[in-house]
């Protein structure tokens, strides 16, 4: 089975996808903050992650960081190998409503598979996950 970690501080924004993905044998976990995401990635191997850009900032080494760029920080830490037990090249899909072109370019430079801007078609998102899962 394929396992995906959704990092989203507004669960209602992604929970709608879970039943369809589970029917496709995709296990869905949810982290609502940077810290929860790191804990999940340290404990469990994921085949891919679905990342929002803006979510709870949490603390890194006791230093708060900008909530607006929490997803960028998490992905940068993953790509830099700062998250133990998480592959630096984990397949990543971004699903966000953040309208910043600057952040979008930074994220795309971190090798994401898809960058969805909300609102986005339910079928397009579910289809992307199903296609990824079929490649395993």
CB 95 within 8 A of CB 51: yes
Distance, in Å, from the CA atom of 40 to the CA atom of 124, rounded to the nearest integer, reads 26
Domain residues of the chain, as ranges?
Answer: 2-134
Fold topology of 2-134: Rossmann fold (3.40.50)
**What is the Cα–Cα distance from 17 to 23, expressed in whole angstroms?**
10
| pLDDT digits (tens), the chain, 136 positions | 999 999 999 898 899 999 999 999 999 999 999 999 999 999 999 999 999 998 876 655 555 666 778 899 999 999 999 999 999 999 999 999 888 888 889 988 999 999 999 899 999 999 999 999 998 7
Whole-structure pTM value: 0.91
The confidence score (pLDDT) of residue 63 equals: 59
Give the three-state DSSP class for 122: helix
Q: What is the pLDDT of residue 64?
A: 60
């Amino acid at each position: 089975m394929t396992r995906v970690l959704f990092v989203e501080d507004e669960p209602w924004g992604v929970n709608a996808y879970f039943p369809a993905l589970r029917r496709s044998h995709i296990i869905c976990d949810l982290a609502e903050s940077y810290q929860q995401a790191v804990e999940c990635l340290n404990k469990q191997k994921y085949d891919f992650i679905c990342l929002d850009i803006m979510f709870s900032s949490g603390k890194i080494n006791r230093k708060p960081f900008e909530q607006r760029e929490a997803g960028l920080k998490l992905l940068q830490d993953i790509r830099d190998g700062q998250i133990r037990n998480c592959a630096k090249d984990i397949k990543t899909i971004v699903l966000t409503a953040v309208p910043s072109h600057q952040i979008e370019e930074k994220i795309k430079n971190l090798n994401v598979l898809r960058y969805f801007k909300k609102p986005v078609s339910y079928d397009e998102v579910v289809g992307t996950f199903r296609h990824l899962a079929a490649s395993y």
